[in-house]
Each structure stands twice: as structure tokens, then as C-alpha cells.
Amino acid sequence: MRPFLIALQFLTRIPLTLEGAPTDEEIGRSLLWYPLVGLLIGSLLWLCAATVGFTTPLLRAAILLVIWIGITGALHLDGLGDCADAWIGSRGDRERMLAIMKDPHAGPVAVATIVSVLMLKFAALDALIEHGHSASLILAPLLARAALPALFLTTPYVRAQGLGAPLAAHLPRANVQFMLALSSLGAVLVFRLQGLIALASSVIVLFTLREEFLRKLGGFTGDCAGAMTEFIEALVLISTALISMS
């Protein structure tokens, strides 16, 4: 249970208090629970969409996006902004790229990237709600957080002292593979065509960005993982919205 609570505490702003500091092994095992946390986030968003169903689709989309950011504490948006600054500002220099990602300040590229991704999410949410497919809200956070263990499973983590170091060092590889298969199968069985399209979108983003991380950094950082999460959520929302309109 503690690994699940560690995952919930890290990935959300749900108030939790753990007795004692988590061990590195517990932190590593918390990766197994990331998809479940994503499912919980998606379920909360789906319930919120039903609660504010009396509003217009546009207003509902705005409310849901704000709630989404609030639940996660903008954790992955921060990584997205840091990556955007580093990719542009480093001019291809690996060490400079890593240094920029550690800098807490956000430049204009970071702001523009975050705003652009949020605009895409907002427009996709509006389309999903308008066409009565708000249940697809569950897919985006679920698959985006399932992709995080997949990234740790397939890609080196490059910061020896980073927050992700215990996750990479104590990753339960066989259990993660089973969890990924279960999450993928569940998405397709429950959501059928939308689930299949969403899963394909997630895989495309995961492996496209993974190749870029390997080329530029030789691996990934926590900021890279956050950026990937945001891109997967955005593309899943867009792809399921396009399917809902067809």
C-alpha cells in the first residue's frame, strides 16, 4: 500500500501524510501504481464533467482544465517548460541543456510551449464534451502515466542524484511489463476504437520523444518525463476528439 500512496503523493496534490521517509525500494515500486493514479485522476475528471453538466461545453472544458492542473499541481507542465527552454536555449550542447533544465526560471519559449499545449487540451476537451464523449477523459491521464514506467523501463536515467534515480535503480522490471500489458489491454477492451487510437497515440509520442532524448542527452531526466506526459495527454485528447467527431 505504501508504494501506491507514494505514487499518489508524488503525482497529485491530494493531501497525504506518510509515516517515515520512504525507502528507495518503495519509491521504485511506486512506479507500478502510476497507471492506477492516472486512472484515479481521469475518474475524478469524468465525475467533475458530470457534475458541471449544466454548463456550456466551452465553460465545462475550461473548468475541467483548471481542475486537471490543480489535481496534478502543474507537475508535468513544469517539466514541459524546462524542456522547451533547454531544447531551444542549449543550441545542442548536452551539459548546457541539463543546466537549463535545473534552472527554476521560465523563459519565453517555456511560456509559449505551455500555453500552446494547454490551448490544444482545452480545444480537445471542448470537442469531446460537445460530442458526448467525456468518458474519454479517463484515457489521457491513464495512458500518460502508464508511459512513465515504460520510459524508465526502456531508457537510461541520466541524473545520478535526480528525483528519478531511486525509480530507475529499483524498478521492478517484470512487474512493470505486466502492468503495462494490463493497462494497454484494459484501455482497448473498455474504450474499444477510442482506446486503440489513444494507445497508438501514446506509443507514437513515447518512442518519438525517447529517440530525441537519447540523441540529445543519452537518456532522460524528470523534466523529460514531465514533457512526455503532457504531450501524450494532449495527443490522446486530440485523437479521441477527432474520432468522436467522425
| 212-223: b (≥16 Cβ within 10 Å) or e | ebeebbebbbbb
pLDDT of residue 202: 96
> How many domains, in total, are found in the chain?
1
Q: Could you give the angle at the alpha carbon of 236 between the alpha carbons of 157 and 174, nearest 5°? A: 40
Residue 122 CA to residue 120 CA, distance in Å, equals 5
pLDDT at 187: 93
| Backbone torsion region of residue 73, taken as left when φ is above 0, otherwise alpha when ψ lies between -120 and 50, otherwise beta | left
Sign of CA dihedral 89, 90, 92, 94: negative
CA triple 10-13-15, angle to 5 deg:
100
Q: Is the confidence at residue 135, as pLDDT, over 80?
A: no
- Picking from 43, 44, 63, the residue whose alpha carbon sits closest to that of residue 53 is 63
Q: Are 60 and 49 in contact (CB under 8 A)?
A: yes
For residue 227, give its domain range. Answer: 2-245
pLDDT tens column, 160-201: 777 788 888 888 888 999 999 999 999 999 999 899 999 999
Which pLDDT belongs to residue 168?
A: 84
Instruction: Give the 3-state DSSP-derived string for 8-37, with helices as H, strands as E and coil as C.
Output: HHHHCCCCCCCCCCCCHHHHHHHHHHHHHH
Please give the pLDDT value at position 203.
96
Which pLDDT band holds residue 72 (cuts at 50, 70, 90)?
A: very high
In the predicted structure, residue 142 carries a pLDDT above the cut 90: yes
Angle at alpha carbon of residue 107, lines to 105 and 113, rounded to 5°: 120
Q: Which residues pair with 220 in a beta bridge?
A: 157
